[in-house]
Structure 1
Amino acid sequence: MNKKLVAKIFFAGVFFSLAKINAQSILSGNVRSDKGEAIPFAVIGIKNTQLSATTNSEGAYKFKNLKPDTYVLTTRCLGYLDKTDTITVAADLVFDPQLFASNKQLDEVVVNATRVNKNNGMAYSNIDAETLKKQNLGQDAPYMLNLLPSVVVNSDAGAGVGYTGLRIRGSDGTRINVTINGVPVNDAESQGTYFVDMPDLVSSTNNIQVQRGVGASSNGAGAFGASINFQTNELKDKPYANAISTAGSFNTFRNTIAAGTGLLNNKFTLDARASNISSDGYIDRAKSNLQSYYVAAGYYGKKSVLKFINFYGQEKTYQAWYYVLEDSIKKGNRTDNPAGLYYDTNGKPQYYKNETDNYKQNNFQLHFIHQVNSRLSFNLTGHYTKGKGYYEQYKQGQSLSAYNINDVITPKGDTITTSDIIRRLWLDNDFAGGIFNLNYTPNSKLAFTLGGGYNTYYGKHFNRVVWAQYASNSQIDHQYLFNTANKNDGNVYLKTNYKPVSTLNMFIDLQVRNVSHRFLGFNDSLAAKMQNQSYTFFNPKFGVSWDAYSHLNIYASVSMANKEPNRDDFVQSSPKSRPKPEQLMDIEAGVKYTIKNFYFATNVYDMEYKNQLVLNGKVNNVGAYNRVNVASSYRRGIEVEASANLNKFFTIGGNVTISQNKINNFVEYIDSSDAAYTISTQYKKEYKNTDISFSPNEISSLMFVIKPVKNMEITFTNKYVGRQYLDNTTNIKRSISPYYVTDARFNYTIKTNLIPEISFMFAVYNLLSTKYETNGYTYSYYTDATLNTFNYKAPAAPINFLGGISLKF
């Protein structure tokens, strides 16, 4: 990447914006309640600018140097309803906003501790409920984030339903911290997030914040590339009901019903949703059958909220995670899923019908929020998640001894040592804990948040044979493997915002996190023993934000993060070969320029890794292909966003990321075997300044919205993703080719006397039927000095459709 070009783009935003300064009026006043009482610590923001002010202890605020114009003010304060006012500033003006008491805003205390804003000096994006509703036709949550900066999504089945995932700045799901109402949902062992276990989560989501880079201190697995924070549905004052049905390509169907009581007796509320989603998927036998529900019951007192939330998901998906062999794709067979393949007694290929993944997950949250006074509020949350499921496989020619089954002696005296079997690999886990945050604002210049949490995980891994061609001494559900794992994760953090002057904010976030594992693994003698491993991390973050003038914000931050290895890293190594924790220093700087119909932002980042964990193909001392630490690597880039309302009919927006993602020194190991496939040695090859896998150097999105009539939108979106390498060798023969995809979406809402709101939705995905892949993996080996490489990729569907209708009562 041309560093001079990056600098020019970055500073052009600053100089362009500074050149626009032309302001001279003062806007001031006092924020008061409907009873005439002064409201301290209310936040007044001016729409389409970077300006905000916080009222002092007397409720007073002031904006200086405003040019004559019409402005939209938004006034917010905990314990009061938001207020929007439109005012005209022709000269100095005194304006006193009036707020009405409400406990509705107390819901936000749950997520505020893990959220960032323009004062924190970090890169982030917010998506509100209205935007989510327009996009949500039944695809999984990652696809709702597809157009955000630096985001690349993928789908095993090829059409966005079933197993899906995303990467942000090249970081995969195991490095992205995900929370729902502040509660961590990353799997404690693998550290990934499986959205397939939370079907139709977006239908119960009020807003999402995506933080790029280290982000703010959070709960659960440390953010090592990004954070995604979901806030579920907020309080609705009036009763409602909603029914949504969508249908489309690949026999995709989604039905959702939701209803709520509104606020009963001004204190109680109950909300519920149930969803069913099914799809055949694009690639062969990639079926998904997903069910979910969401229930929330709340008590809203004058200064307190007690809220219980339960959301449940279950999935049955035919295994599509093996993807499609690249040779098949080149021959035109883009849907050839090898999962479940076996050969019958005549040598003909067959596919096992129940090669499926089956999982149920039940999530419980209990939130207590209390506003002590205008300066002090706190939140206490308890949570529990129960997960249980298995995936089933048909395996041919398996050694009976590997399953603790005796060899079979036939009546003729022959010994049978192998058998076809059907096995189930089970996971049964419990995850529970508590989190808290205390928010204290002593004056208009200072704000503190003290937070933290403690979570514990207990998982049972067990494998069973449910059928065997030669069962020998085994019984029904013969268990041949069992082990457990326990993980405890505790953290405490203190966040401080200090405003020495109204236009400058300094941010400090200090976190201490302790993680301890107990697992069955290899000791130094390579014997399987229960072992313990613990780490204590210190993760400081510093940021500064300056409102250079009413339309321009300039910010910067420096953050540190540490991350522990995952379960496989522990159980597939011994203390001698065990990987070290990863470390990351993230430097961010950017500008945001906003005027009435135009928005521009640019952010540069430098993410410097120490001991980043990668696969290199080397067999360690326990015979496993485990991840290893690379001494130094980095991700450096620039993210540019812009949008413009050209007029009342047309809006255009987009973003582009240009980056370098490098490992300074990388060593690849490739197995070498003889004609009988007996591994004899490993070839070693060294690389310098090589690309990190799945980290494209260019990512961009473009959106064009047409509003021909009231309540109608026609949206065209374009997504470009540069080349992604399947491993860390920068070998073009082991890569996913760049792709450019166009989608179109139609939304139209009408209102009738019988049904208050009817919304029609229709989407065309991959409008030009581009042939591309979204994910993959590769492996290579030498046979008699001949290199054999096999690439498997996840093909995306050609042009496909989803359409639906929503009835709102």
Structure 2
Amino acid sequence: MKRFQRLFVLGVLFTSSLTYAQNKINGVIYDSSTKTAIEGAEILIKSTTNGTYSESDGVFTLTTEFNQGQVQVSFLGYVSKTVNFNLNGANEINLGTIYINQDEQSLDGIVVMARGVIDVAEGRRTPIASSTITKQQIEEKVGAQDITSTLVNTPSVYVTSQARGFGESSMTTRGFDQSNTAFLLNGQPINGMDNGSVYWSNWSGMADIANAIQIQRGLGSSKLAISSVGGTINFITKATEMKEGGFLKAAYGNDNYFKTTVGYNTGLLKSGWGVSAMFTQWQGDGYTNQTAGEGQNYFFSVGYKPNEKHNFNFLITGAPQWHNQGTSTALSNYVTYGRKFNANQGTLNGEDFNGRKNYYHKPVANLNWDWKIDEKSSLSTVIYASIARGGGQSNRYAVDMDSTSGLLDYNKVVQTNEAIESGAAKNWLGADVNNHKWFGIVSSYNRELAKNLTMNVGFDLRTYKGSHQRQVTNLLGADYVVDRYNVNLGEIKISDTFSTNPWKAYTNFAKNPDQVYGWIYDQTIRYGGVFGQLEYATDKFSAFFQGSASQQSNERTDTYQYTPGNDKSEKVSNFGYNVKGGVSYNINQQHFIFGNAGIYSRQPYQNNIFMNYKNDVNQYAENEDIVGLELGYKFVSEFIDINVNAYKTTWENRVTGSSKMATATDVEKYNPDADPAILNVGEYIYTSNYGTKQDHKGIELDFVARPLYNLEVRGFASVGDWKYRNSANTLVRNEARVVLEEKSTNLDGAKVGDAAQTVFGLGFKYKIIPNLAVDVDYRYYDDLYSSRQQLDNLQLPSYQLFDAGVSYALDLNTKNRLSFRVNVNNLLDTKYISQLSTATQRTENSKTFKGIDTTNQGLMGWGRTWSVSAKFTF
């Protein structure tokens, strides 16, 4: 009897287990953008630990005892998705194809090297105001434009047109220019150490090698003591790819733009090694008249993974290029000659000739090492180097313009030079050369101190030496150039000319003092910093504290204006720091609120320390003070993600300096009744401007909605209130530092210019069929002012732009794909002023363009442009 009872109980249990396990849920997981299967996606019965993973073809089978409920699909780098199921008495159900969307705000699935060095938003649980542009978006949107064009559909970013030529665009973030926005390449700073500038022509290859771009507005998540007043922009490049394959790509666009690219990667071999390489050739005539350019981009990456603890990656990339340049000009010239007018355009021997030209080659190499020490700690290090050569060519003196055609007459220059009996040049072309060497290392150690507490510490070391000189590139019919101002050589005759080819510039530059005119000086900058961060994070709450400190020294050596032994400036050292902190609260996995605050004390750039190309130190060049505050709200769901941010940034103690030789007019102005010895003709006058404060505040909104699996809607808006506060103080002194003049100009309430303070946009991407999609973007710009610092600043007309594109992909087989893309920018061919450098108010007698006095100097935006591309992936 007992034996029977035991058998009965076992039978019931066995039957029950079969009953509970007999329900099956089937389906397949696909990427909604590429319509390709996803392997390794996690599928869970919501609120349980019962789950499985999708296979290589995306298929999954999940067993459960429940008859109804919800399945939750998750995968790294994608937005989680919840799907309802109800078996309705059946034992099995097929959910069909489940499409999941890439998380546009996530970089976790993209960053594969130097994770601890690259400060992306996911490196910290406490949120920041950020936007991420994926590799696919970069490929679709950039077309024949600079990489900055991919950022135009994000809040508080203003990108001016490339009216000056290839690679000549510029951008502001929350009203602060590029020298006050930090740019990082795989964790290494790329802003110029001498002036903070970024020249996009040096980074023309970024569009080909970038895996993602993340713009962090305001305080950002970077732990380095860098110039992130407006924000921080991280460029995450390709590393050595894990899968074997390659691609061929060709693009053609307006004004004879043509670009070809080839890339290949071996994948990770059994030995642990892998290699990825890419090469690009491009050329074009340029939208603006006579702004032709040509260049190459190269990328070479070697990866080595000896075991699960260590990962090494070495890469070198560069973009040697040359391009003719445009310039700001009076609006009246655009009215007369059209918006493609270039004030540098000219003719020589019956052919187009532009004397203004940029040529540069700036290769960058870095070695990344990621070390997973144990389950709780890791170390990431990047060592980098850049040895750059090149410069900017221009006319030494003005060239006459034909008022009928608007062309500069270089034939007249040649005729004048040839007629001079001595053979000395009256006018010629010369290049301002900037050859530099830059080396650095950034290392970051991360450790989990407790269950919810992490620590990060590290250091940042950099050294920079820039060598500057002027050299002759074209004598324009003369035999030589006379230079009389080198104090060590006296009067010399220079007949040597040097190439403006970016490849030749590496070796073909003036190496002897008697080959140089105008100036010869070196800048040496050494920087050392340490940083640290503590973050406490639970499922509901997170808080962080972050700080950094740095010491920077500056020296200048001038062998042109000073004799040996007197040619080196004093060493100027400045201590800087930043402190940041923030908190966030997760209300219910969909609603997040956060707040961040920070204080920066930033060292002045060397160009503000040493005045007007001399070794004289500006005693007023002290650290600049920046205070940032921001509040944010995030909403995340299956169908829509929304971000709202409010910010306030103040920037004060800005100092600029300049100097000039006193003229007779200056002597008369500054000491009409005093001892003339206070100022004599030929002595230096030093001018310092200080005391200006900027106050920037605003609100930002952006969202991504997915109402249908094949429709994505994006929108953004930013409303800023950017003003100058207090007065701008000007102090004029002589060589003995005696004050000649002190004045104050009221700027309180003046509008900050050079960027639209009100911007909003809306766009959509619609998949007509799985491999065919169209997209349209609309943007409106208002509250744009000239770049002048004055109380009655001039407001530019508002304008709106439409961009459109079509993408099509043809899957040839499981490995090969042929894809096509068409871009049209400024679809309606809108005429607009993108930038003004003067602020002349119109009068009754003014000639105007869109209500603006045409004597104002500025740039017109590009008209309609287009590009088409085809890519074969294998």
Normalised TM-score (structure 1): 0.79
Deviating more after overlay: 564-573 vs 635-644: 564-573
Displacement of 1:220 after TM fit? Answer: 6.9
Residue 282 of structure 1 aligns to a residue whose secondary structure is coil
Deviating more after overlay: 370-379 vs 750-759: 750-759
Kindly provide the CA deviation profile for residues 230-278 of structure 1, in whole angstroms up to 9, marking residues without a partner as x: 1112453321111111111111111111110011116111000111222
Q: Map 1:143-154 onto structure 2 (within 5 A).
A: 143-154=149-160
- The one-letter code of the counterpart of 2:310 is S
Displacement of 1:806 after TM fit? Answer: 0.8
Report if aligned partners of 2:828, 2:864 keep a CA contact under 8 Å in 1.
Answer: yes
Displacement of 1:695 after TM fit? Answer: 3.7
Who is 1:428 aligned against? 435
**Aligned-partner Cα distance in 2 for 1:267–1:358:** 39
Change (3 A) 1:505 1:540: same
Who is 1:365 aligned against? 366
Residue 568 of structure 1 aligns to a residue whose secondary structure is helix
- The one-letter code of the counterpart of 2:873 is K
Greater share of strand:
1
Of the three residues 589, 593, 598, the one matched with 1:550 is 589
Report if aligned partners of 1:245, 1:804 keep a CA contact under 8 Å in 2.
Answer: yes
Who is 1:611 aligned against? 653
Of the three residues 737, 750, 753, the one matched with 1:690 is 750
**Aligned-partner Cα distance in 1 for 2:749–2:793:** 18
Displacement of 1:566 after TM fit? Answer: 2.3
Of the three residues 846, 863, 872, the one matched with 1:798 is 863
Displacement of 1:656 after TM fit? Answer: 0.5
**Aligned-partner Cα distance in 2 for 1:584–1:87:** 48
- The one-letter code of the counterpart of 1:447 is T
Q: Map 1:310-325 onto structure 2 (within 5 A).
A: 310-320=316-326, 322-325=327-330
Who is 1:641 aligned against? 702
Kindly provide the CA deviation profile for residues 266-295 of structure 1, in whole angstroms up to 9, marking residues without a partner as x: 611100011122222221111121211000
Displacement of 1:610 after TM fit? Answer: 1.9
Question: Within the alignment, does 1:759 sit opposite 2:819 as a pair?
Answer: yes
Report if aligned partners of 2:285, 2:293 keep a CA contact under 8 Å in 1.
Answer: yes
Displacement of 1:554 after TM fit? Answer: 0.3
Report if aligned partners of 2:692, 2:728 keep a CA contact under 8 Å in 1.
Answer: no
Of the three residues 453, 475, 496, the one matched with 2:494 is 475
**Aligned-partner Cα distance in 2 for 1:650–1:85:** 16
Who is 1:440 aligned against? 447
**Aligned-partner Cα distance in 2 for 1:758–1:178:** 34
**Aligned-partner Cα distance in 1 for 2:745–2:571:** 35
Of the three residues 182, 198, 202, the one matched with 1:197 is 202
Identity of aligned residues (%): 19
Of the three residues 567, 573, 592, the one matched with 2:634 is 592
Q: Map 1:92-111 onto structure 2 (within 5 A).
A: 107=113, 109-111=115-117
**Aligned-partner Cα distance in 2 for 1:515–1:691:** 33
Who is 1:251 aligned against? 256
Who is 2:461 aligned against? 454
Report if aligned partners of 2:466, 2:522 keep a CA contact under 8 Å in 1.
Answer: yes
Change (3 A) 1:624 1:571: farther
Of the three residues 509, 525, 530, the one matched with 2:546 is 509
Q: Map 1:110-509 onto structure 2 (within 5 A).
A: 110-113=116-119, 115=121, 119-157=125-163, 161-219=166-224, 221-265=226-270, 267-300=272-305, 301-320=307-326, 322-331=327-336, 333-339=338-344, 352-396=353-397, 419-468=426-475, 469=478, 471=481, 473-477=492-496, 478-480=515-517, 481-499=519-537, 501-509=538-546
Kindly provide the CA deviation profile for residues 112-164 of structure 1, in whole angstroms up to 9, marking residues without a partner as x: 446456722421112222222222324221111111111111233378x4322
Displacement of 1:467 after TM fit? Answer: 4.9
Residue 714 of structure 2 aligns to a residue whose secondary structure is strand
Displacement of 1:561 after TM fit? Answer: 1.8
Displacement of 1:606 after TM fit? Answer: 0.6
Displacement of 1:327 after TM fit? Answer: 1.6
**Aligned-partner Cα distance in 2 for 1:497–1:618:** 51
Kindly provide the CA deviation profile for residues 575-605 of structure 1, in whole angstroms up to 9, marking residues without a partner as x: 4554322111100101011221112221000
**Aligned-partner Cα distance in 2 for 1:749–1:657:** 35
- The one-letter code of the counterpart of 1:720 is Y
Displacement of 1:85 after TM fit? Answer: 8.8
Question: Within the alignment, does 1:536 sit opposite 2:597 as a pair?
Answer: no
- The one-letter code of the counterpart of 2:824 is V
**Aligned-partner Cα distance in 2 for 1:790–1:625:** 30
Deviating more after overlay: 469-478 vs 169-178: 469-478
**Aligned-partner Cα distance in 2 for 1:255–1:624:** 53
**Aligned-partner Cα distance in 1 for 2:470–2:360:** 15
- The one-letter code of the counterpart of 1:542 is G
Report if aligned partners of 1:759, 1:805 keep a CA contact under 8 Å in 2.
Answer: yes
Report if aligned partners of 1:155, 1:162 keep a CA contact under 8 Å in 2.
Answer: no
Who is 1:564 aligned against? 603
**Aligned-partner Cα distance in 2 for 1:693–1:616:** 22
Displacement of 1:356 after TM fit? Answer: 1.3
Report if aligned partners of 1:642, 1:653 keep a CA contact under 8 Å in 2.
Answer: yes
Displacement of 1:377 after TM fit? Answer: 0.8
**Aligned-partner Cα distance in 1 for 2:260–2:534:** 45
**Aligned-partner Cα distance in 2 for 1:188–1:485:** 10
Number of aligned positions between the proteins:
702
Who is 1:653 aligned against? 714
**Aligned-partner Cα distance in 2 for 1:727–1:494:** 37
Report if aligned partners of 2:312, 2:370 keep a CA contact under 8 Å in 1.
Answer: yes
Report if aligned partners of 1:190, 1:568 keep a CA contact under 8 Å in 2.
Answer: yes
Report if aligned partners of 1:447, 1:497 keep a CA contact under 8 Å in 2.
Answer: yes
**Aligned-partner Cα distance in 2 for 1:200–1:624:** 44
Who is 1:723 aligned against? 783
**Aligned-partner Cα distance in 1 for 2:762–2:440:** 41
Report if aligned partners of 2:620, 2:655 keep a CA contact under 8 Å in 1.
Answer: no
Normalised TM-score (structure 2): 0.73
**Aligned-partner Cα distance in 1 for 2:792–2:741:** 25
Displacement of 1:318 after TM fit? Answer: 0.4
Displacement of 1:635 after TM fit? Answer: 0.4
- The one-letter code of the counterpart of 2:277 is A
Who is 1:712 aligned against? 772
Kindly provide the CA deviation profile for residues 306-346 of structure 1, in whole angstroms up to 9, marking residues without a partner as x: 111000111101022x23321212335222212266999xx
Q: What RMSD in Å do the two structures reach over aligned CA positions? A: 4.0
Residue 592 of structure 2 aligns to a residue whose secondary structure is strand
Kindly provide the CA deviation profile for residues 152-181 of structure 1, in whole angstroms up to 9, marking residues without a partner as x: 11233378x432221111111111111111
Change (3 A) 1:103 1:269: farther
Higher relative contact order (CA 8 A, sep 6+): 1
Unaligned runs of 5+ in 1: 1-24, 35-66, 77-81, 91-101, 399-409, 672-679
Kindly provide the CA deviation profile for residues 16-46 of structure 1, in whole angstroms up to 9, marking residues without a partner as x: xxxxxxxxx9836599999xxxxxxxxxxxx
Displacement of 1:715 after TM fit? Answer: 0.6
Kindly provide the CA deviation profile for residues 69-89 of structure 1, in whole angstroms up to 9, marking residues without a partner as x: 54333469xxxxx99897769
Residue 113 of structure 2 aligns to a residue whose secondary structure is helix
Larger Rg computed on CA atoms: 2
Residue 238 of structure 1 aligns to a residue whose secondary structure is coil
Kindly provide the CA deviation profile for residues 332-378 of structure 1, in whole angstroms up to 9, marking residues without a partner as x: 5222212266999xxxx997444311111111101111101111111
Change (3 A) 1:753 1:425: same
Change (3 A) 1:669 1:447: closer
Of the three residues 621, 626, 640, the one matched with 1:579 is 621
**Aligned-partner Cα distance in 2 for 1:272–1:185:** 22
Change (3 A) 1:655 1:105: closer
Q: Map 1:76-91 onto structure 2 (within 5 A).
A: none
**Aligned-partner Cα distance in 2 for 1:631–1:430:** 34
